[in-house]
Amino acid sequence: MKLKTSYAELFGADPKKPQKSEISPEATELHAAQRADKSRIAKIHEEIALLAAHPRIETIRPFRWMVLILVNLLFLGSYYLDIQLLEGALTASRFAGFHMADLNSALQVMLAFKHVVINLVIGTVTVFILWWLLGGRTFCSWVCPYHLLAEWAEMIHLKLVSKGWVKDHPMDRRARSWFWLVFAVLALVTGYTVYETISPTGILSRALIYGPGLALIWVIALLLFEIFWSRRAWCRYGCPIGLTYGLVGAISPFKINYNLEKCFHEGECKKVCLVPHVLDTVIKGRAKKISVDIGADCTRCGRCVDACPTESLTFKFKGIGEYL
């Protein structure tokens, strides 16, 4: 995927249907072949029936949850058990004595304080490099404690939707960019880190490490909103932290890769995806190339990798060769 498109979709643009001229000759050929091959329809039905009969057990999700819980427990243990390996909270910490700072929190502080001490520079650069390597929004699905709670809320939401008791109300994805901008400007103008007041990531991380507080009411309100009104609303449409990490991850070597050759276009991946717009390319006739890297908004959660019946979505670490 082109970097420009990747960023545009990150900021909230709807994915566009590619022009014929944008599709590579190989992909055009493959699209045509897929259309001509009537037996594929039967195969797709076969795949879907098989999937219905033997629902796939997700393997990446439990592993990811384990990582997420372990990272957060490492914060807790470093304090309570005095392991001293990962001190602080998600907003800023020290890993084995080395400074780390959440990019969005650091940005808020820099804009509000208008002065940067060297430790914060070190922490920010370290974390930037770390999440550039690991994919940016990877932070969201593999580390953020709110993400885990939101996934559980999503399970309840989907259950209620299947019973017809609630309906998902999608929101405008451009909201997150506005949110990001508004809070950046507010920090600069007011001199307060206004976003931190409502950051569920910060609130949860501190609650876990230093004990619960009334601020958790806000987190619960967000979760209820997501259960009864809009699926995964905060992570999808609101969280400026997600956008900041998305900006970093756009240029990351770590991606989810889509392979058109293997794809039967069942659409299973889009059903489980937190950010289904990034998977627009899997729709029949949309892929511009045989092999497409998924865009910046992807959290590399791996649910699509698990959901895909034909293994056309995989984790991929780009070699240096692909940058040249």
Partner 1 sequence: MAAKRLTRAEKKRRQFIQTMGMLGVVTAGALAGIIPSVKGWANRLRPPGALTEQKFLAACIKCGQCVQVCPVNAIKLADIGDGVGIGTPYIDSREQACDFSCDGLQCVLACPTGSLTHEVNFSHEVDIGIAKLVRPKSCLAVNGQGFKGPARGVDFKGLMRYQEVDRWNPIPIADHPYDLELCDLCVRTCPIEIRANQCDIGKPPSGDEQQCPPKRAIRLVEIDSDDGVKRMRPEILDGCVGCGVCEMICPVEPTAIIVENNELRTGKYPRV
Three-state DSSP state, 254: strand
- Choice between 148 and 239, CB closer to partner 1: 239
Q: Does 250 bind partner 1 (CB under 8 A)?
A: no
- H/E run at residue 7: helix 3-11
C-alpha dist (Å) from residue 323 to 41, 97, 151, 293, 320: 37, 33, 34, 13, 5
Among 138, 193, 244, 299, binds partner 1 (CB under 8 A): 193
Beta bridge partners of 93: 88, 100
Among 3, 66, 117, 224, binds partner 1 (CB under 8 A): 117
Q: Does 98 bind partner 1 (CB under 8 A)?
A: no
Three-state DSSP state, 163: coil
Q: Does 166 bind partner 1 (CB under 8 A)?
A: no
Q: Does 259 bind partner 1 (CB under 8 A)?
A: no
Segment interacting with partner 1 (CB under 8 A) among 48-56, 176-184, 288-296, 306-314: 176-184
Among 43, 174, 284, 318, binds partner 1 (CB under 8 A): 174
Among 15, 202, 246, 295, binds partner 1 (CB under 8 A): 202
Cβ neighbours of residue 256 closer than 8 Å, sequence gap 6 or more:
293, 294, 298, 300, 302, 304, 305, 313, 314, 315, 316
Contact 262, 312 (CB under 8 A): yes
| Spatial distance between the Cα atoms of 94 and 176, rounded to a whole number of angstroms | 29
- Choice between 142 and 183, CB closer to partner 1: 183
- Choice between 233 and 263, CB closer to partner 1: 233
Among 65, 95, 113, 228, binds partner 1 (CB under 8 A): 113
Segment interacting with partner 1 (CB under 8 A) among 1-9, 15-23, 107-115, 315-323: 107-115
Three-state DSSP state, 94: strand
**Rg of the Cα trace of the chain?**
21
Residues forming the site for partner 1 (CB under 8 A)? 78-79, 87-89, 91-94, 99, 101-102, 105-106, 109, 112-115, 117, 119-120, 123, 170-172, 174-175, 178-179, 182-183, 186, 190-198, 202-203, 206, 209-210, 213-215, 217-218, 237-238
